[in-house]
Structure 1
Amino acid sequence: MTEKDIANQFSRYVIPSMMSMVLVGMYMIVDGYFLCRAMGDDGLTAINLAWPMVALMTAIGTGIGTGGSIIMTIRGSGGDEEGALRAKSSTLVLLLGISVLLIPVYYFLVGDALSLLGARGKIHEYGYNYMLVITFGAVFQVMGAGLVPVIKNIGMPVYSMVMMVVGMVINIALDAYFMLGLGLGLEGIAWATCIAQAVVAAMGIGPVLKSKLGPKWYLLERKTTAELIKIGMSPFGLTMAPAIVIVFTNYQCLRYGGNAAVAVYTVMSYAAYFIYSIMQGLADGVQPLISHCTGAKDHKGLGGVLRKGLALGLALGGSFMAVFYLARYQFPIVYGVSHDVAIQCMPAMVAVAVSAPFVVVARLMSACFYAMDDGRNASILVYADPFIFTPFFLVTLPMVMGVKGIWFAYPATQVALTALALVLKSMGGGVQRTYMPNPL
């Protein structure tokens, strides 16, 4: 691609993707606002303890949808149209099959899972009622998350953004009505989520079914499915990692500060998720371009896309650092917490601000690896977060800093991930070593 082509395609894919994730981040903030107003600290604690189970559904859909989309794009760019159709068909069948399978699994295990995650008494009751509704809407959760990347990769990035915008608007409106109007509490949030995701899934399935699927599209092709799962493990991990981090962090919060610390962490996680969502939007936006350049062996175009992505991400990361540091007291107040709780939140908000630039590099480099079909390095970088760095810092820092060590485990992890990304990049070969620019 020429510089002009890169600029045009970058705007076409990255801007809608980032705008979609901006709305996701804003939705999470508004959702938390309604929840705190309706149910206070107990509501915040219950949804934070239950959230990893919801995130697992979303991560499964995202992993399958993104993995299949990458295969579609690489094969299509390389001239293998039949292979691209097989990838599209396998993606659709897997999304539907696994989403249906999750319903009985969740129904029988959700109560015990909540207990393992630390929910007790009234918190367990709130979380169970919430998850019961989510369970019966599992098909919509998985299909909604999985069809967005598919739509984006078949050349409809703006429509994929519209799908997410519609879902967010419906979700926010129903949150307000069910919680504040009807007083349904967490069950109201669950109903709003399921209905909104059902609309997103309905909007996505139409264009996919109308596009060409190939003969016997309903049969899984073994080789394509195996490749899809292999590539999809990285985007699955990227989506699931924050939820796994929440599990570890909640455990330490309960140990060092009880339910109050969990409530503080919930406010912190809303801020962190806002930054994370936007940076993931940037990564999702460049992914189709990176996959296209990889399939077409356009090394010059690949380098140009990566440089633009890194420049934009680092500029945004610096801006977020300043904004969240300056709003370290005001942001918690938005949720209606008391002055004392807001004061306790301030160190946590500083930790979020410090982490922002490093989140950019970690997320973008992960996306680069899996978009280039480098599943090994992508998986190393993705899974080092929830299973190595986060547990290590969550155990060691609180020993020295007390509850503040829990908050600063987050930026410490992001710094470690950035360093690991640089090491993996320097150890890469071929296209990766030559054309992937250094992020710092």
Structure 2
Amino acid sequence: MKERNVAEQFSKYVIPSMLTMILTGFYGIVDGFFIGQVMGDDGLAAINIAWPLLSLISSAGIGIGTGGAIIMSIKKGSGEFEEARKAEGTTIVMLFFASVAATIIYLFFSPMFLRFLGADGVLFKYGLSYMKVIAWGAFFQIMGAGLNPILKNLGKPVFAMLIMIVGMFVNIFLDWAALYVFDWGLGGVAFATCAGQASVAVFAAMAVIKDKLGNSWYIPDRKLSKDILKIGASPFGLTMAPGVVIIFTNLQALHYGGTAGVAVYTVMSYAAYLVYSLMQGLADGVQPIISFCKGAEDYPALKHVVKKAFGLAGIICVILMAATALARYQFPIIYGVSQEVAAASVPAMLALVLAIPFIAIARIMSAYFYAIDDGRNASILVYADPFVFTPIFLLLLPIFCGISGIWLAYPATQISISLLSVMLKKTSNRGLL
């Protein structure tokens, strides 16, 4: 692949992917805006406690969908087009069964999950009204999230972006109607979220069905299923990591700051989620190109793609750091929080500023590893965040810094993950860069 072709493919995939992930981030941010304006601190705290359960659903879809999409790109790069079609069909079937399973599990176990996450009293009441609706919409959540990466790897990144725009506007309109017109509370917000994802799933399914899947595509291939799950474990963990982090952080915020502490963290997590989504969009955008280059064994082009990704990330980081620092007080106010919560959010927002460049490094390196089918190193990076560094820093830093230690745990974790990615790259036996 020539450098000119790489540049063309970079623009074709990365820009729509970044816009798509920004829109995905807006789903949660829009929900938070309306909830904060109508329901205040308690509503924001409740949605943040329930959010990891929603994140688990979308992560399952993204993990399966991205795992299948990576195999599709690698097979196409090596000229195995029939295997690529078979991988696409297997992925769709897996998404269907995962959707059905998630619906059943959440219908029966949502109350238990909310108790485990620390919800009690009014937070449990609000959270349960939210999850009852989310459970019924889990099917569309998984299908929408899983079909999107398939569309990108079919060479339709712009269409994937456009249907996300449709879903976002559906979500925004129904959020407004649910809270301001019908007074449906968090259950109405959940309905808006599910309706937005349902529109994405329907349009994505229509586009995929038009693609030539081949004969008997609905019969999953056992070996491909295992490969999809193996590769998909990394993007699943990458998407789920913020949800796991939220669980640990909510528990510490409740302990050190009560409901107000959780409200502060909710505001910070919305800002962080937007940054995270943008960087993940960049990483997802280069994934199909890296996977294709890997399959074609075009390593000079692969290096050029990664270099361009880091260059663009550097520019974005500067802009995001400046914007976050300038809006450190105004951003919480947008959500309608109390003056006490807005003032207490300033240190949390400044901690996010410090984390931004390291979020970029961690996301790009994780995507690089799973794009070249190096599941071991990708999984180490992905799961070290929520299950190693985050718990350690959340336990230790508040002992010395109080509630400020909770906010500092986020940049400390991202710095640690970035350093770990550099070490893994140097010791990797698949070093292509």
Q: Distance in 1 between matches of 2:373 and 2:42?
A: 43
TM-score of the superposed pair, with normalisation by structure 1: 0.97
Query: Are 1:10 and 2:10 an aligned pair?
Result: yes
- Contact 1:90–1:218 under 8 Å retained in 2: yes
Taking structure 1 as reference, are residues 106 and 434 closer, same or farther at Cα in structure 2, changes over 3 Å only? closer
Q: Distance in 1 between matches of 2:29 and 2:215?
A: 45
Structure 2 matches for 1:15-94, cutoff 5 A? 15-94=15-94
**1:383, distance to aligned residue in structure 2 (A):** 0.2
The AA in structure 2 aligned to 1:385 is D
SS in 1 for 2:392: helix
Equivalent position of 1:299 in the other structure: 299
Q: Deviations over 1:297-317 (max 9, x none)?
A: 011110110000011012211
Q: Distance in 1 between matches of 2:35 and 2:132?
A: 18
Equivalent position of 2:152 in the other structure: 152
- Contact 2:26–2:168 under 8 Å retained in 1: no
**1:27, distance to aligned residue in structure 2 (A):** 3.8
TM-score of the superposed pair, with normalisation by structure 2: 0.99
The AA in structure 2 aligned to 1:183 is D
Q: CA RMSD in A?
A: 0.9
Q: Distance in 2 between matches of 1:199 and 1:78?
A: 34
Structure 2: which 5+ residue stretches go unaligned? Answer: none
**1:243, distance to aligned residue in structure 2 (A):** 0.1
The AA in structure 2 aligned to 1:123 is L
**1:23, distance to aligned residue in structure 2 (A):** 2.3
Tell which deviates more after alignment, 339-348 or 361-370. Answer: 339-348
**1:31, distance to aligned residue in structure 2 (A):** 2.1
Structure 2 matches for 1:94-109, cutoff 5 A? 94-109=94-109
**1:429, distance to aligned residue in structure 2 (A):** 2.4
Q: Distance in 1 between matches of 2:201 and 2:185?
A: 25
Q: Distance in 2 between matches of 1:21 and 1:218?
A: 29
Structure 2 matches for 1:219-368, cutoff 5 A? 219-368=219-368
The AA in structure 2 aligned to 1:323 is A
Q: Deviations over 1:149-193 (max 9, x none)?
A: 001101101001111111111111111111112111101111101
Equivalent position of 1:198 in the other structure: 198
Q: Distance in 2 between matches of 1:111 and 1:338?
A: 29
- Contact 1:62–1:235 under 8 Å retained in 2: yes
Q: Distance in 1 between matches of 2:127 and 2:211?
A: 40
Q: Deviations over 1:66-93 (max 9, x none)?
A: 0000001101110111211110011000
Q: Deviations over 1:212-260 (max 9, x none)?
A: 2122211111100000000000000010000000000001011111111
- Contact 1:28–1:274 under 8 Å retained in 2: no
Equivalent position of 1:136 in the other structure: 136
Structure 2 matches for 1:155-234, cutoff 5 A? 155-234=155-234
Q: Distance in 2 between matches of 1:269 and 1:287?
A: 26
Q: Deviations over 1:359-393 (max 9, x none)?
A: 00000100000000000000000000000000000
**1:338, distance to aligned residue in structure 2 (A):** 2.5
**1:40, distance to aligned residue in structure 2 (A):** 0.7
- Contact 1:63–1:236 under 8 Å retained in 2: yes
Tell which deviates more after alignment, 167-176 or 142-151. Answer: 167-176
Q: Distance in 1 between matches of 2:231 and 2:304?
A: 23
- Contact 1:73–1:291 under 8 Å retained in 2: yes
Equivalent position of 2:429 in the other structure: 429
**1:434, distance to aligned residue in structure 2 (A):** 4.0
**1:42, distance to aligned residue in structure 2 (A):** 1.0
The AA in structure 2 aligned to 1:37 is Q
Q: Distance in 2 between matches of 1:20 and 1:202?
A: 17
Paired residue total: 433
Q: Distance in 1 between matches of 2:97 and 2:415?
A: 38
**1:129, distance to aligned residue in structure 2 (A):** 1.1
- Contact 1:148–1:163 under 8 Å retained in 2: no
- Contact 1:46–1:123 under 8 Å retained in 2: yes
Q: Deviations over 1:275-329 (max 9, x none)?
A: 0000000001000000010001011110110000011012211221121112111
